[in-house]
Amino acid sequence: MKNYFSIQDIDSLPDWVSEARQLKGSPTSQKQLGVGKTLCLLFFNNSLRTRLSTQKAAMNLGMEVMVMNFGNEGWALEYGDGTVMDQGTSEHIKEAAQVVSQYCDIVAIRAFAGLKDKAKDEAEEVLNGFISYASVSVVNMESSIGHPLQALADAITLAEHQGPNRETDSQENKTDDKPGKSEQGQQSGARRKPKIVLSWAPHPKALPHAVANSFVEMMRRQDAEFVITHPKGYELNPEITGDVPIEYNQKKACENADFVYAKNWSSYSDYGKVLHQNSDWMMTQEKLGAAKFMHCLPVRRNVVVEDAVLDSGQSLVIEQANNRTYAAQVVLKKLLENMR
Ligand X SMILES: NCCC[C@H](NC(=O)CCC(=O)O)C(=O)O
Residues that bind ligand X (CB under 6 A): 142, 205, 207-208, 210-211, 296, 298, 300
What burial letters (b/e) apply to 249-283, b meaning 16+ CB within 10 Å? ebeebbebbbbbbbbbbbbbeebbebeeebeebbb
Handedness of CA 218, 220, 224, 225 (dihedral sign): positive
End-to-end CA distance of the chain: 13
Q: Which is nearer to ligand CP, 47 or 284 (CB)?
A: 47
Q: Which is nearer to ligand CP, 314 or 323 (CB)?
A: 323
| Paired strand residues for 64 | 38
Handedness of CA 212, 327, 317, 183 (dihedral sign): positive
* Strand ranges (E), the chain: 38-43, 64-69, 77-78, 91-92, 106-110, 137-140, 195-200, 225-229, 246-247, 259-263, 292-294
Q: Is 110 annotated to bind ligand? A: yes
Cβ-contact 130, 226 below 8 angstroms: no
Q: Is 147 annotated to bind ligand? A: yes
The entry of ligand CP, ligand X, none near residue 48 (CB within 5 to 8 angstroms by kind) is ligand CP
Neighbours of 55 (CB within 10 A): 19
Q: Is 296 annotated to bind ligand? A: yes
Question: Is residue 222 at the binding interface for ligand CP, with CB under 6 A as the rule?
Answer: no
Q: Which is nearer to ligand X, 136 or 149 (CB)?
A: 149
The single residue among 6, 30, 50, 314 that binds ligand CP, judged by CB under 6 A, is 50
Taking the complex as a whole, the smallest distance from the CB of residue 294 to ligand CP amounts, in Å, to: 11
Site track 270-309 with ligand CP (rule: CB under 6 A), x = hit = --------------------------xxx-----------
The entry of ligand X, ligand CP, none near residue 236 (CB within 5 to 8 angstroms by kind) is none
| Helix (H) or strand (E) run with residue 128 in it | helix 125-133
Question: Is residue 48 at the binding interface for ligand CP, with CB under 6 A as the rule?
Answer: yes
Taking the complex as a whole, the smallest distance from the CB of residue 43 to ligand X amounts, in Å, to: 11
Q: Is 47 annotated to bind ligand? A: yes
- Which residues make up each annotated binding site? 47-50, 75, 110, 142, 147-150, 203, 263, 296-297, 300, 324
- Binding residues (CB under 6 A) for ligand CP: these are 47-50, 142, 150, 296-298
